[in-house]
Structure 1
Amino acid sequence: MADLFPFLPPGGETSAEIRARDWSATSLGPSEHWPQALRNALSLMLAYPTAMFLAWGPDLLCFYNDAYRPILGYRLDTALGRPFREVWASIWGDIGPLVDATLVGESQTLTDVMLDLSRTGQPERSWWSFTYSPVRDDAGSVAGLFCVTAETTDRVLGEARLRESEDHFRHTVELNPQVPWTCDPSGNITSYSKRWLELTGQASGEPDGAGWAKALHPEDVPWTMTVFAASLSSGEPVDVDYRIRVAATGEYRWMRARARPRRDGTGAILRWYGVVEDVHDRKLAEARLREVNETLERRVEAALAQRKLWADVFETTDALVAALDPDYRLLAVNRAYADEFEDIYGVRPEVGDGLLDLLASNPEHRDAARAVWSRALAGEEFTAIGEFGDPTRRRPSYELKFTALRGPSGERVGAFQYAQNITGRLRDQERLARAEEALRHAQKMEAVGQLTGGVAHDFNNLLTIIRSSVEFLRRPNLAEERRTRYLEAVSDTVDRAARLTSQLLAFARRQPLKPEVFDLRERLRGVADMLNAVTGVRIRLAVEVPDGSCHVRADPGQFETALINLAVNARDAMDGEGRLTLRLVCGGPLPSIRGHAGAPGPFTAVSVSDEGAGIPPGVLDRIFEPFFTTKETGKGTGLGLSQVIGFAKQSGGDVEVASEVGRGTTFTMYLPHVDPPAGANDAGSPGAEAEDDERGLCVLVVEDNLDVGRFCTQLLEDLGHGTVWAHNAEAALAEVERTPSRFDAVFSDVVMPGIGGVALAQRLRTNHPGLPVILTTGYSDALARDDAHGFELVRKPYSAEQVARALRGVVARHRHASA
């Protein structure tokens, strides 16, 4: 049976539903009567992965692609071919004006619009970004509308949560009882929270520099400044206690100041970040606890007096304090500890109770308590981190200090625990981690600046040669010998600029690759003669390859470039004399390299070993950085190894380096191992080019850059070909559809506004499979991620010979395929 819908792409649920429906009863009539504009629109929409719908005709009958189906929800079963207004009657008040404006020829673009689609039949809040575009019929009149849409609910709600979080953070900082502060590397205070001014009564700006010290107790100033100066000099963290006069009461309270430095990539201190916290109560409690311990050592027999003294002291602090005897019975417990224990376990501990008995209903916590207290009762003094509080809420974190209790003769009579709330300190550490992340970002930006500077330096050098040569070529009386010399200088410099760009893209893993499956054994043997020419006669080259095939899928040109870069570095490391060994190992795993996880493989390993000076450990971590080189000025760009690792990474592998100063270096390039191709090409198949076919072709040039377009059409005409120039892919498609048999080939740029070159080529391959397409680009992210999509690729900057060779090749292959 004849296909009534040849214009629909194969596959897809919606495409199948359109084919299965009888359209003769609708206003559109049978599909064979559908206008070409509707067919083209449906073909485009159904093949596109983004959610789209099409409303066509006087009734705006609804069509959509598979990606749009989930948006319809419960409407999906009845939406196809139904008037658009009926499908979305629930939101017509919101979208009706947009539809009306689109139908008079005005495109509409809306971002983050809240619509209640009620996809499950229940009201919902969702946000959408979409465009409405008019669709014209074969006569050029608006016959419907086309919508591309995407749900943005998650992003809208996420941004709202982020704003709320940031507002919450600002309020938290201002309400924090601690005092965040910063100072420069010389110790001059540069910022602080308002809490410091409230505590000390100092005016805004007064604490700047060293003014903060005026709020300290005079006796504490010398010691504090000595500690502060020592930390500034050594770079060690600041941790010092001092007293400040509290403006509200006039009394002095103990404070603890702590700070850590933030450093740049060289280790130099950029700024200090610190916090001041009130430790007055803790200081007093610790002093009294020391007194208690001394008293207990003298009066361990007087248990009642001991417990009374402990209770008096422990109730002066908010810390959780308890003491146990060797049998895990409570010698003392303060109110804070008892309250927290009761909140968690439902029982209030009393002096004389057995701690393990109190925890009998919670075996997990009982075992944990036994483990930690047994260490303390054995005489060990240590610090641990734990959480106390209601497990259903966010619990504060405590620093637990355990100390042994001793009798008058030094014997152990028990142990006590002092738990201090350090939730604020941990939050400070989180803020410090965020600051360190900001530092790492700044370091990345610095690396980008270094890369930009290196690119600018090298390209300016190349442009200087080109500009000077062009100026001399403009002289009317220039001798032919010198004219030839300047033309060769321009040509050579363009090649060097192209290589520089290729190396940069290789490092960034963004170069367009042309991968092939080839045998590394044959490739290594074939490249040996070329390496002999590169390294010189004093370098002894040895090639070690295994028996059997060893295939990879990679760009052979970039592979050979990587080998040459490694060989040149090896030659320079050996000062032009020594043994250079190429070794191939197949089928092994990929080891862990520079902190990256390995892989089981199989992988091929191509190693290049020299007997040179080796790489110092301090340099080894930087050798793959672009523009980093240890060679003399003018002896290297610093991009060779960047190309090697970029090519390996982009091809699915990696590069490992092993070096010993004075003994040599081995670079090992890992590439994924693949099966050999199913069979060789037929002996009678023509080559990639047909050198004897020099007839003039009609070439459709697609290029949006006016200068490049004029140059390209002139180049093709000079080669004897006829040209038609389209400034974008849309115009090119119109030219082809107007007279499909007119063109012998299409030569298209990849990066263009609107439809890109890859999409154009894919559409032409679908609609006009007999029309050869050649793509050209200086850089395209699409090609870097997915090869050349099966199309011939000519990289910019290109020469006339490269274009001519590419045209001959694709035309010959298409003729052979047709035959």
Structure 2
Amino acid sequence: MTAPAFLTGGGETGALMRGHDWSSSPLGNPAGWPPRLRSVVELLLGSKFPMFVAWGAELGFLYNDAYAEILGAKHPRALGARFHDIWAEIWPDILPLIEAAMAGVATYREDLPLLMNRRGFDEQTWFTFSYSPVRDEEGRVAGMYCAVAETTGRVLMERKQAFLVRLGDTLRGLNDPHALPTLAAELLGTELGADRAGYGIIDASGEVVSVERDWTAGRVASLAGEARILDAFGPAVIAELRAGRTLVVEDCQADPRTSRPAYLPTWDSIGTRALIVAPLIRSGRLAAILYVHSGGPRHWTGVEAELVEEAAGRTWDAVQRAWALADLRESEERLQLALDASGMVGLYDWLVPQDRLFADARFARLFGVDPDRAAAGAPLADFKRVIHPEDAARVEAAMKRTLETGEPYEAEYRLLRDGGEVHWVAARGRCLHDGGGMPKRFSGTVVDITDRKQAEERQALLSREVDHRAKNALSVVQAALRLTRAPDLPTYARAIEGRVAALARAQTLLADRQWSGADLLTLLRGELDGFLDRDGGGPQAEVDGPPVSLPAGAAQPLAMAIHELATNAVKYGALSAPEGRVEVNWTVEGGLPDRLRLRWTERGGPALKKSPERRGFGTRVLDGTVRGQLGGTLSLGWRPSGLVCELDVPLRPGPPPGDGEVDAAPV
């Protein structure tokens, strides 16, 4: 039979129409098709744009070569078939549009999403099309006509780009190298509607993959942990990855790379039937993988594979950046600990041409500048204002020398803070110059050396004090040697030894207190030690009074005075008899300075009939130390019951040490 004229041409589909068996089609023999249908078929067969027409009560389906590509495996069996039978899987989505067209209303949709099955698997597609009614010769709507364009590729590409932008924005805002891979995997897995996604690191041997955390949609288990990739996935899979090729598997049970009997149980055990794995090759070796798994078979589009590849690269870059930042933070923390341990106060960076000095918070606080202002950059003058006026010229000269010559900057100087507080700092720095030899930036550090300076001052003071006290001690020894009288040499030696021992004890007390003074009670106990806690019969000496810290200048003279009183009591007074007693009491009266009033009372010793006719060495020592050295008053009462001595001395610091004067000269 000769084909109707309107079926001439039309490419492959036209040829199929001409040879098609129309007996089972609701459209019947083309020779009996109405003129309007013939016109539409002739129109679409002559077009390169995808078109179809559905005609009659059962909507018999006709289309051209361009539309055949959209049908996929449904072509050519779709030719002449019922519209519903061809697109049963999307019928609920398009039925309202079909009904509108058959009711005489044209419809238009742009990028309509449709889940089609045209090649044996479900795939998400997008289409832009118009359904238009086609009327017969009587004006009744007898069918519908469609011009359609598949926009799946463009929509997927736009979605891919939008996802990559979103992924990049998310990764840039996250610096945790542990959380970052998991978040990237979650974003990717959600975007692709996958069941699992994760990021694995390959060790240096290339044999073990480590997954810290991955993402799942809740239908499969996590793969966090370590696995030997060759043992788990097989040589074919690993060869693909090591070659830098993205692994795309639509069904693990059918793909020859994954369906080998030795490795198929691996995929079953982790609930995976389809996957995309993008390798990261760095320095010639497999360094990491980004995997996306599906629990069932799935067709992956080329755009989806590209999306995984690009996400893998961006995730790798973000992870490496995060690790670099983490290492930098750790290095900074180590540096900060080192700075803290070394007493480092702060860092500064002075941009010389702009006169903007940037400093950290500790430097800023030391120089009395608001830390936020210092961090944003402030003029050098804001920091220089606290330099001690006596040091300012020296500091200025040192900085000028560095600016002009480039030699290292070093200076130790004082900072005079509000309220008169003084801090010592040691400043160090270097100056960089531009190609023309002009200073460009001046950077360095400052160390708070206040404690060191104070220690040095204390040490110098202590040295002067020791020198001064040593001179005094030698002077007292010389005086004792010169003025002590005794009937024989042994007696003379004992007298000298006792006085030198008293002096030594006072020296020891001062040394124990770092020459800052001596405790009065300790001094008294040292001179009366044998009489305070005597076995049987109770103590012969009692001391009582408030705590008193004697100034350094008063300790030695007072020790000598007490020693002479004790020596006199042992030889001639209360301590020469078993029944004798000595009481030492004292009080402190406030004033400028405070005054020590000490009373030495003897009783129970040999009766005194009158005061001594001449002054001995001990009396001269008492008078010389109390009046001459301490600036106090002395009262000696020679009563029948025993000696009563009253001392009244000011508790003022001694004369400045190192002045060349000797305290013990009055002896």
Give the number of the structure whose alpha-carbon radius of gyration is greater: 2
Higher relative contact order (Cα pairs below 8 Å, separated by 6+ residues)? 2
TM-score normalized by structure 1?
A: 0.23
